[in-house]
Amino acid sequence: MLHMHGTRETRTKARRGWRLLLAAVTLCAMAVVATGCGSVLAIAGYVAAASSIKSFLDDLNPDEPTYTLSGYVYIDNAADRIAVQADATLPTGGNWELYAEAPLSLDTTPPKTTTSNAQGFFQFTGIPQGENVHILTIGTPGGGQVQFTVRLDKPSITPL
């Protein structure tokens, strides 16, 4: 048992401090349970921002048409955000710049990986037509990652 000395006001403030600390620890523990231990680091890391994407069905081989997915990766280091744009246009609101040499992966079967070029451009080709929804993962400075849900048949991208 913890014994506190001092005035009643001092003891009340001390109890409130301990309760706030306990609430913060409980909140962190809930985040670990909800997201997994590895994801807790994302609280202080980069986040995925509103984005747009370009995809099209490549029918050069009519017997086995495939999708091509492409875009430009942007980073806002001041706000720890990453965005994807269908065209080479800066996202609005923030200190965005092209993210050159960004590591990207797409959860196709088998998985596809690439790196954005000096202009932030990336492209995945040969994605089977039956696989329309994927997770696009982009590595962040410092070793973290952000993820987006990508829909190919109706081109859209949503931050996870």
Segment (H or E) for 152 = none
Tell me, yes or no, whether 2 lies in a domain: no
Do both 59 and 12 map to the same domain?
no
In a domain? residue 3: no
pLDDT of residue 139: 96
Whether residues 32 and 100 share a domain: the answer is: no
Determine the pLDDT at residue 154: 86
What pLDDT score does 131 carry?
A: 80
Whether 85 and 129 share a structural domain: yes
Question: What is the pLDDT at residue 24?
Answer: 40
pLDDT band at 50 (very low <50, low <70, confident <90, very high): confident
Domain count, the chain: 2
* Least-confidence region, from 8-17, 115-124, 127-136: 8-17
State residue 29's pLDDT score: 37
Query: Does residue 92 sit in the same domain as residue 145?
Result: yes
Establish if 67 belongs to a structural domain. Answer: yes
Domain that holds residue 26: 8-40
**What pLDDT does residue 7 have?**
62
Domain for residue 1, yes or no? no
